[in-house]
């Protein structure tokens, strides 16, 4: 079944790339909201590191529409994402992109959704504990992005990334097992905290952002903020004291030095530090050349355990909302 | 004296543009840290709205170096800023940019600084209460950016923006007078707060970011986070209750709808709201065509009063630091 679904994902990507191939694509816009936007940050990092010709931009959906970038047009590929496919601003962004002549490719869990319908192509990704990592959102996004880079610029990492994404589920499992005890410890230590900061840089910043705004603020009503590890020393670090909790992510990309520097300083003057370091996980199945790109996906997977444990011990289910889906906004 | 300094600024810009003119510039990188980075956000907005051909990117300095964007090269203009001209990562960024063949133009208050020395061209801006707004950082940045757009693409707003920046000081004064009482009220109401969020979108987001990380976190040790008004509804708004303070900025650019929507929701479920609305300020001297670009500068100026009053009432000078310039980091 897994194999069948994975074959399906590959053929969806192939179909999407066939549409890209019909156009003269010169720039890529990543457009989504909240967690769906955060999952595009690693792809923006990939574009900055890999794309020799194609330009790329990342916007929250309504910012995209109202900012109305002058470069959006028939040479644009707009990549959108909404889990339910119903996020109004993202559906509107797909319409807006197509009205400008751009190609709109969306990722969603719901093939019958408005977003799927308003896009030129949709890619259905899998979700939940049964899904193989290869068929889930981060992986489908990478397959699309590296596929586009391969198609437009002959980028040679496409096959390599595909091969590594096929081994991602096993890597997830190992990392989750390694961190299960740490996740429980984190939850016990932080159950009464009013604020928890997160911090990262490079390909991992989106994971820190997502944990801050989706898990802590949205699902746990705990104050938070994702601090960029490079910006830390230019303002935010003055907030550090022995009482203020930080979750510090260390990835494996070129910016790791920024995260290490932030951690090293924080250890001197702070005490409530939770460190997730991709170097400590068993990534032996992953090729060195793409470890930096894969690390944020693993960190994100591992962090979900931290969220689950925190919700459990606080008796505050991750599904609980005050406003979202409940009131008008 | 003011006239003389302003003439000097114009001739500095002219000299910088002459250097730009010697190259074949295809992309612009905005590179700085903290508050100096934040002051580039409106210019990134300008580029997205105005630049038909030239691409633009914005990074914190160390992220720029380690991310090492593949597009950085001899067709790049790298615009840097550091007030003292000593920020190590930004000085390093100038060296790095030039080692890649890029043109490095920096803004600084210190012509004798390492940043000025490591750049191809430096622009000295004025600072402090005596300085005319035309010669200060935001204005010099806009003159450079619109100058580059005019030079490379014939953008026609260059003269208009220059004319409007010459009237900026008078506009600042009027707005500051209008908001003096509100700033005092804000300080009285918020003197005991442990956390204060800021929020904005579009050209104004950088002002919200700067107030959050430089004023609240760095200078007042108050927890904070700049929430993007469009992202608000996809996570952060769940934190809103009658006890949580928000500073909500409303500008005059194309994304104002996002800020209005965020305010309208916040009014329903929140109570500790401080609203700074550029529409309420006397911008009659400013041409409609550039009001959206000028608004963040005015909001930033006005907010400085809020910072001053907050520092005063909390008996916590804006100059007080725990770590910055005091310990190794």
Please report the ipTM that was assigned to this predicted complex: 0.97
Number of DSSP helices (H) and strands (E) in chain B, helices first: 13, 9
pLDDT of residue A129: 84
Contacts of A155 in chain B (CB under 8 A): none
CB contact under 8 A, B323 and A71: no
8 A C-beta contact, residue A225 and residue A210: no
pLDDT in tens, chain A (329 residues): 678 999 999 999 999 999 999 999 999 999 999 999 999 999 999 999 999 999 999 999 999 999 999 999 999 999 999 999 999 999 999 999 999 999 999 999 999 999 999 999 999 999 988 899 999 999 999 999 999 999 999 999 999 999 999 999 999 999 999 999 999 999 999 999 999 999 999 999 999 999 999 999 999 999 999 999 999 999 999 999 999 999 999 999 999 999 999 999 999 999 999 999 999 999 999 999 999 999 999 999 999 999 999 999 999 999 999 999 999 99
Burial class (CB in 10 A: 0-12, 13-18, 19+), B195: middle
Q: Which two tokens stand for residue A167?
A: 């081994």
- d(CA A315, CA B91) in angstroms, rounded, equals 49
- d(CA A276, CA A270) in angstroms, rounded, equals 16
Compare all CA atoms of chain A with the CA of B327 and give the residue at the minimum distance. Answer: A265
Q: How many residue pairs bridge chain A and chain B with CB atoms within 8 Å of each other?
A: 203
CATH of A168-314, one of 3.40.50.12570, 3.40.190.10, 1.10.3210.10, 3.30.365.10: 3.40.50.12570
- d(CA B78, CA B41) in angstroms, rounded, equals 14
8 A C-beta contact, residue B113 and residue B84: yes
- What is the side-by-side strand order in the sheet with A76-81? A55-60, A27-32, A76-81, A103-108, A121-124
Q: Considering only CA atoms, give the Rg of chain A.
A: 19
A267 touches chain B (CB under 8 A): no
Compare all CA atoms of chain A with the CA of B89 and give the residue at the minimum distance. Answer: A230
**CATH topology identical between B2-165 and B171-313:** yes
pLDDT of residue B1: 61
DSSP bridge pairs for A31: A59, A80
- d(CA B302, CA B297) in angstroms, rounded, equals 9
CB contact under 8 A, B35 and A62: no
Compare all CA atoms of chain A with the CA of B27 and give the residue at the minimum distance. Answer: A55
Q: How many CA atoms lie within 13 A of B173 on its CB side?
A: 10
pLDDT of residue A94: 98
Three-class SS of A90-126: HHHHHHHHHHCCCEEEEEECCCCCHHHHHCCEEEECE
CB contact under 8 A, B238 and A219: yes
Q: Residues with Cβ < 8 Å from B84, sequence gap 6 or more?
A: B108, B109, B110, B113
Q: How far is CA B105 from CA A2, A284, B32, B82, B155, in A?
A: 54, 44, 12, 11, 20
Pick from A63, A212, A257: which is nearest to B202 by CB?
Answer: A63
Beta strands in B270-312 (DSSP E): 273-277
- d(CA A323, CA B235) in angstroms, rounded, equals 10
Pick from A194, A238, A255: which is nearest to B217 by CB?
Answer: A238
DSSP bridge pairs for B117: none
CB neighbourhood size of B83 (10 A): 20
Q: What is the dihedral of CA A102, A107, A111, A117, to 10 degrees?
A: -20
Most distant pair of Cα atoms in chain A: their distance: 57
Q: Residues with Cβ < 8 Å from B139, sequence gap 6 or more?
A: B9, B125, B133, B165, B168, B297
- d(CA A122, CA A108) in angstroms, rounded, equals 7
pLDDT of residue A1: 61
A74 touches chain B (CB under 8 A): no
Q: Which two tokens stand for residue A324?
A: 């979202």
Compare all CA atoms of chain B with the CA of A214 and give the residue at the minimum distance. Answer: B235
Compare all CA atoms of chain A with the CA of B229 and give the residue at the minimum distance. Answer: A63
Contacts of A50 in chain B (CB under 8 A): 70
Mutation target among A51, A56, A67 for the B interface, most CBs of B within 10 A:
A67
Contacts of A217 in chain B (CB under 8 A): 235-236, 238-239
User: C-alpha B72: how far from its chain's center?
Assistant: 23
Q: Residues with Cβ < 8 Å from B131, sequence gap 6 or more?
A: B5
CB contact under 8 A, B235 and A34: yes
- Ramachandran class of B235: left when φ > 0, alpha when ψ lies in -120 to 50, beta otherwise: left
Contacts of B265 in chain A (CB under 8 A): 323, 329
Mutation target among A222, A225, A250, A252 for the B interface, most CBs of B within 10 A:
A225
Contacts of A213 in chain B (CB under 8 A): 231, 234-236
8 A C-beta contact, residue B103 and residue B76: yes
CB contact under 8 A, A329 and B237: yes
pLDDT of residue B209: 98
8 A C-beta contact, residue A55 and residue A71: yes
CB contact under 8 A, B258 and A62: yes
8 A C-beta contact, residue A126 and residue A140: no
Name the residue ranges covered by the structural domains of chain A: 2-158, 168-314
- d(CA A37, CA A55) in angstroms, rounded, equals 18
Contacts of A240 in chain B (CB under 8 A): 322-323
CB contact under 8 A, B323 and A237: yes
- d(CA A125, CA A49) in angstroms, rounded, equals 25
CA distance A73 to chain B (A): 11
8 A C-beta contact, residue B233 and residue A36: no
DSSP bridge pairs for A196: A224
Question: CA B229, B281, B292: angle at the middle one, nearest 5?
Answer: 50
pLDDT in tens, chain B (329 residues): 678 999 999 999 999 999 999 999 999 999 999 999 999 999 999 999 999 999 999 999 999 999 999 999 999 999 999 999 999 999 999 999 999 999 999 999 999 999 999 999 999 999 988 899 999 999 999 999 999 999 999 999 999 999 999 999 999 999 999 999 999 999 999 999 999 999 999 999 999 999 999 999 999 999 999 999 999 999 999 999 999 999 999 999 999 999 999 999 999 999 999 999 999 999 999 999 999 999 999 999 999 999 999 999 999 999 999 999 999 99
Mutation target among A58, A63, A218, A220 for the B interface, most CBs of B within 10 A:
A63
B67 touches chain A (CB under 8 A): yes
pLDDT of residue B269: 98
Contacts of A219 in chain B (CB under 8 A): 238
Q: Which two tokens stand for residue A250?
A: 């260390």
- d(CA B283, CA B293) in angstroms, rounded, equals 12
pLDDT of residue B2: 74
B174 touches chain A (CB under 8 A): no
B73 touches chain A (CB under 8 A): no
DSSP bridge pairs for B105: B79, B121
User: C-alpha A303: how far from its chain's center?
Assistant: 12
CATH of B171-313, one of 3.40.50.12570, 3.30.70.1070, 3.20.20.70, 3.40.720.10: 3.40.50.12570
Q: Which two tokens stand for residue A71?
A: 């470069």
The CATH superfamily of B2-165 is Glucose-6-phosphate isomerase like protein; domain 1 (3.40.50.10490)
- d(CA A305, CA A321) in angstroms, rounded, equals 20
8 A C-beta contact, residue A209 and residue A41: yes
- A2-158 has which CATH code? 3.40.50.10490
User: C-alpha B140: how far from its chain's center?
Assistant: 11
Contacts of A270 in chain B (CB under 8 A): none
CB neighbourhood size of B315 (10 A): 8
CB contact under 8 A, A67 and B49: yes
- d(CA B311, CA B320) in angstroms, rounded, equals 10
Q: Which two tokens stand for residue B140?
A: 């010099």
CB contact under 8 A, B231 and A60: yes
CB neighbourhood size of B12 (10 A): 20
SS3 helix, strand, coil % of chain B, rounded to 5?
A: 55, 15, 30
Contacts of B321 in chain A (CB under 8 A): 238
Residues 298-327 of A with CB under 8 A from B: 321-324
């Amino acid at each position: 079944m897994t194999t069948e679904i994975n074959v399906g994902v590959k053929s969806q990507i192939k179909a999407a790339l066939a549409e890209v191939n019909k156009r003269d694509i010169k720039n890529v816009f990543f457009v989504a909201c909240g967690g769906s936007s955060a999952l595009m940050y690693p792809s923006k990092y990939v574009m900055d590191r890999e794309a020799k010709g194609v330009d790329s931009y990342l916007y929250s959906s309504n910012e995209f529409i109202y900012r109305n970038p002058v470069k959006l047009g028939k040479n644009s590929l707009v990549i959108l994402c909404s889990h339910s496919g119903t996020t109004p601003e993202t559906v509107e962004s797909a319409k807006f992109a197509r009205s400008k002549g751009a190609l709109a490719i969306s990722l969603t869990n719901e093939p019958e959704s408005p977003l799927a319908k308003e896009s030129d192509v949709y890619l259905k990704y899998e979700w939940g504990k049964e899904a193989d990592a290869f068929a889930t959102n981060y992986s489908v996004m990478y397959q699309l992005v590296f596929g586009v880079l391969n198609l437009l610029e002959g980028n040679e990492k496409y096959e390599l990334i595909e091969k590594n994404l096929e081994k991602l589920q096993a890597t997830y499992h190992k990392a989750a097992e390694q961190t299960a005890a740490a996740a429980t410890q984190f939850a016990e230590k932080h159950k009464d905290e009013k604020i928890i900061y997160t911090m990262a840089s490079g390909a991992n910043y989106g994971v820190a952002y997502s944990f801050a705004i989706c898990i802590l603020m949205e699902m746990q009503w705990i104050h938070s903020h994702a601090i960029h590890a490079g910006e830390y020393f230019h303002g935010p670090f003055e907030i550090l004291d022995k009482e203020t909790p930080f979750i510090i992510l260390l990835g494996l990309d070129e910016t790791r030095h920024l995260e290490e520097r932030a951690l090293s300083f924080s250890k001197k003057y702070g005490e409530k530090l939770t460190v997730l370091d991709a170097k400590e996980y068993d990534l032996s199945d992953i090729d060195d050349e793409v470890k930096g790109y894969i690390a944020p996906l693993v960190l994100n997977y591992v962090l979900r355990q931290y969220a689950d444990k925190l919700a459990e011990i606080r008796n505050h289910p991750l599904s609980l909302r005050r406003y979202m889906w409940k009131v008008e906004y």
